[in-house]
């Protein structure tokens, strides 16, 4: 490869960020605002570097994308301390350990993707990945405690600062925490010197210092959110002070001011969240206000639990006391995420991302400047550019293998933004994947459900179908019509009849075209089905075709049905992507079948630690030996595959890479 490779772009990004940091430190004493603007530019450079690096590394190795995600690594000296803290958290906060680790020591690697998804939808994901805010809260709580202990104000300040520094070191000095600690230090120093320090200067120092000792911090999402979020906080307070009428006072003023700050902060971080999580939350300002007081009490409590880790009885007591607060925090995320149209699906192109980045900086400038017209005009122009930029997804088909635990739910999004859903997950008296997962997932992304396909009657495929039918009202459904079925299947059929949904038995040879996407039904046919006892042998098998791109959807098809397909239509089995049948069970995915399909990627929908022992290691090995990249929902959460009719791009947890 000649010229500027993606890797050197990443290196250049890190160097650019370092240069920006040095420049801003030089500028600091005279022009703090310039320093802060440079810092925000470094955020932009870091995001660019991040994108180039992820894509390059994943394309080169085509391994699991999580390896490619740049993550902050603590300096070797601090790593053991951080490990000790992590162990203590696991010991006392068992069920919530993942969440508490994120909140206390900025360690998000064991965080359930579903939880992170929920917080992103509610617009409060920064509360999970930034410990900057948390350090500030802990510091405030310690200050109150020290003052209550009758320590003189100055002594309390210095003692508090020392404790905060100790805390930041113990948790491995993640960049957002360093940012916060430096800013708290700057405030203590300026109070001691009785000099007024601009908050922009404090931000420039706080954001710049982590870059100096680890330049690649610029590509860390936590650092990016922390810096842009705090810049928005300063700008939001400034504009609230100027814009809110004087007549507004007391708690009303407080709430109005918090809401202003929250709106500015949500706006300033929206392009970052859209880039990393593929969505923009519209409920974010409200969710932030609701979550704020909860986290203000929860955070010091969790910290107390960690500080008392050496005294098991006390630590357990504190952990138990924090339980209702953790639930309340989670409830805010849950409520925010379940509001219809709470989030806009966004897949920003480079152009729109840059335009929105410019708009953000311009809005912040308009907030703090008395001459707000020009930056406001620039912001408007940038937003207009973003809005009218050619939509990148207009010719793209997406396949979403939604993580529904043990079961299947595969949603195909057409170029016109409509959906075809293959199966609706598990459903029984206690849990209904249709209600809890699938309907919110489709609703949050918008677009009508054009067709529901039920591959067979088992409860882990037809379970959520009744809910999906009554909530999304698709005009048509198709299924094998295999006599004898589960209760949930009967309920789905009854619901379809009630709603006058057009019903059609799926038959081999059917070709359904939805918005240019061809769905070719390969199985079953009625003669074959009549001889079967097992519903798995009569699964609907569909080949999705769009341009030259293909995917085979197999439901829970077993070896008998695979044999039948090999005899009947061997030429139609070849596909780029394979939905591995029966959650990776040994009953399907025979060697002959796999040789006919020859997939480059194999997608497995399966729950972690399920009672069936799915997926079978031998089947996984077989897929890999046949050259397929294996992606499993139990390991990766929801998997998204996109195609423009030529190649495929895969996406997991916001990380995208091209399938080769």
Q: Least distance (Å) from Zn ion to the CB of residue 573? A: 21
**Cβ density class 180-212: b for 16+ within 10 Å, e for less:** bbbbbbbbbeeeeeeeebbbbbbbbbbbbbbbe
Q: How wide is the angle at C-alpha 639 spanned by C-alphas 633 and 644, nearest 5°?
A: 155
With CB under 5 A, what is the number of residues at the site for Zn ion?
2
Integer Cα distance of 491 and 503 in angstroms:
14
- Site stretch for Zn ion (CB under 5 A), options 6-14, 57-65, 348-356, 554-562: 554-562
- Closer of 545 and 556 to Zn ion (Cβ): 556
Nearer CB in complex with Zn ion: 425/474: 425
Helix (H, G, I), strand (E, B) or coil at 143: helix
Closer CB to Zn ion, residue 299 or residue 585? 585
Helix (H) or strand (E) segment spanning residue 354: helix 350-368
User: Between helices 32-61 and 250-277, what is the axis angle to 10°?
Assistant: 30
CA distance 397 to 518: 11
Nearest residue (CB) to Zn ion, 294 versus 404: 404
State the minimum distance, in angstroms, from the CB of residue 556 to Zn ion.
4
Nearer to Zn ion, 271 or 463 (CB): 463
558 binds Zn ion per the rule CB under 5 A: no
CA distance 408 to 405: 8
Three-state SS sequence of 568-616 = HCHHHCCCCEEECHHHHCCCCCCHHHHHHHCCCEEEECCCCCCCCCCCC
From the CB of 612, what's the least distance to Zn ion, in Å?
9
Tell the smallest beta-carbon distance from residue 587 to Zn ion (Å): 10
Least distance in Å: CB of 605 to Zn ion?
8
Closer to Zn ion by Cβ: residue 556 or 644: 556
Kindly state the smallest distance separating residue 585's Cβ from Zn ion, in Å.
Answer: 8
Among left, alpha and beta (phi > 0; psi -120 to 50; other), residue 393 is alpha
Q: Which residues pair with 343 in a beta bridge?
A: 281
CA distance linking residue 524 with residue 12, whole number of Å: 55
CB atoms < 10 A from the CB of 116, how many? 22
Task: Write the binding mask 456 to 485 for Zn ion: x where contact by CB under 5 A, - elsewhere.
Answer: ----x-------------------------
Q: Least CB distance from residue 466 to Zn ion, whole Å?
A: 17
Stretch that binds Zn ion, among 39-47, 174-182, 334-342, 548-556 (CB under 5 A): 548-556
Question: Checking DSSP bridges between strand 476-479 and strand 541-546, what pairing results, if any?
Answer: unpaired
Least separation in angstroms between residue 60's CB and Zn ion is: 35
In the complex, what is the shortest distance from the CB of residue 524 to Zn ion, in angstroms, rounded to a whole number?
Answer: 16
x-marked contacts with Zn ion along 424-463 as a string, rule CB under 5 A: ------------------------------------x---
Among 57, 556, 558, 562, binds Zn ion (CB under 5 A): 556
Smaller CB distance to Zn ion: residue 232 or 457?
457
Number of H helices, E strands in the chain: 26, 18
Q: Which two tokens stand for residue 9?
A: 């772009």
Of 44 and 535, the one with the shorter C-beta distance to Zn ion is 535
4-32 in b/e burial notation, b at 16+ Cβ within 10 A? Answer: eebeebbbebbebbbebbebbbebbeebb
Residue 48 or residue 535: which is nearer to Zn ion going by CB? Answer: 535
Give the residue with the Cβ less far from Zn ion, 117 or 556. 556
> Minimum distance between the CB of residue 576 and Zn ion, rounded to whole angstroms?
23
Report the interface residues with Zn ion, using CB under 5 A.
460, 556
């Amino acid at each position: 490869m000649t010229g500027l490779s993606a890797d050197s772009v990443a290196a250049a990004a890190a160097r650019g960020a370092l240069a920006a940091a040095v420049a801003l430190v030089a500028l600091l004493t005279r022009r703090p605002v310039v320093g802060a603007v440079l810092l925000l530019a470094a955020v932009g450079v870091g995001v660019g570097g991040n994108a180039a690096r992820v894509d390059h590394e994943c394309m080169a190795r085509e391994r699991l994308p999580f390896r490619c995600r740049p993550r902050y690594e603590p300096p070797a000296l601090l790593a053991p301390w951080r490990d000790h803290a992590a162990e203590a958290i696991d010991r006392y906060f068992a069920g919530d350990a993942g969440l508490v680790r994120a909140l206390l020591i900025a360690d998000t690697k064991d965080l359930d993707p579903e939880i992170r998804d929920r917080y992103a939808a509610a617009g409060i994901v920064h509360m999970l990945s930034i410990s900057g805010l948390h350090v500030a809260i802990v510091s405030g709580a310690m200050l109150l405690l020290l003052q209550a202990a009758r320590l003189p104000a100055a002594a309390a300040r210095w003692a508090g600062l020392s404790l905060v520094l100790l805390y930041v070191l113990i948790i491995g000095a993640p960049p957002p925490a360093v940012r916060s600690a430096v800013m708290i230090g700057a405030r203590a120093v300026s109070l001691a010197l009785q000099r007024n320090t601009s908050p922009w200067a404090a931000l420039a120092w706080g954001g710049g210092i982590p870059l100096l000792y680890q330049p690649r911090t610029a590509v860390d999402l936590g650092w990016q959110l922390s810096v842009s979020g705090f810049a928005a906080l300063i700008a939001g307070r400034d504009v609230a002070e100027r814009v809110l009428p004087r007549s507004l006072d007391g708690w009303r003023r407080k709430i109005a001011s918090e809401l202003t700050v929250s709106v500015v902060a949500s706006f300033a971080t929206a392009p970052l969240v859209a880039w990393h999580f593929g969505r923009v939350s519209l409920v974010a300002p409200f969710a932030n206000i609701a979550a704020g007081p909860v986290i203000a009490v929860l955070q010091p409590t969790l910290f107390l639990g960690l500080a008392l880790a050496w005294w098991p009885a006390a630590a357990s007591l504190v952990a138990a006391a924090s339980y209702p607060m953790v639930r309340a925090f989670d409830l805010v995320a849950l409520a925010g995420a379940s509001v219809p149209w709470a989030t806009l699906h966004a897949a920003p192109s480079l152009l729109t991302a840059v335009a929105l980045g410019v708009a953000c900086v311009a809005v912040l400038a308009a907030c703090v400047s008395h001459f707000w017209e020009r930056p406001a005009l620039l912001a408007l122009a940038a937003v207009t550019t973003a809005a009218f930029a050619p939509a990148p997804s207009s010719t793209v088909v997406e396949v979403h293998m939604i993580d529904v635990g043990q079961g299947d739910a595969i949603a195909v999004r057409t170029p016109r933004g409509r959906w075809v859903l293959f199966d609706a997950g598990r459903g029984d008296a206690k849990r209904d994947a249709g209600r809890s997962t699938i309907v919110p997932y489709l609703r949050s992304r918008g677009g009508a459900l054009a067709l529901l396909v039920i591959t067979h009657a088992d409860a882990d495929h037809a379970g959520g179908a009744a809910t999906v039918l009554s909530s999304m009202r698709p005009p048509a459904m198709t299924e094998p019509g295999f006599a004898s079925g589960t209760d949930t299947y009967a309920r789905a059929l009854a619901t379809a009849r009630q709603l006058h949904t057009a019903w059609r038995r799926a038959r081999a040879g059917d070709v359904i075209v939805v918005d240019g996407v061809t769905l070719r039904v390969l199985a079953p046919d009625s003669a074959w089905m009549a001889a079967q006892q097992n519903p798995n042998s009569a699964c609907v098998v569909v080949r999705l075709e769009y341009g030259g791109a293909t995917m085979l959807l197999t439901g829970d098809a077993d070896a008998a049905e695979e044999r039948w397909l090999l005899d009947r239509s061997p030429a139609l089995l070849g596909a780029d992507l394979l939905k591995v049948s029966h959650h990776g069970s040994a009953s399907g995915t025979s060697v002959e079948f796999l040789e006919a399909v020859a997939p480059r990627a194999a997608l497995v929908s399966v729950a972690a630690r399920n009672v069936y022992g799915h997926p079978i290691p031998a089947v996984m090995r077989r897929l890999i030996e046949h050259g397929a990249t294996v992606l499993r929902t139990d390991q990766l959460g929801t998997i998204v595959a996109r195609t423009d009719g030529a190649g495929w791009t895969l996406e997991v947890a916001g990380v995208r890479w091209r399938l080769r």
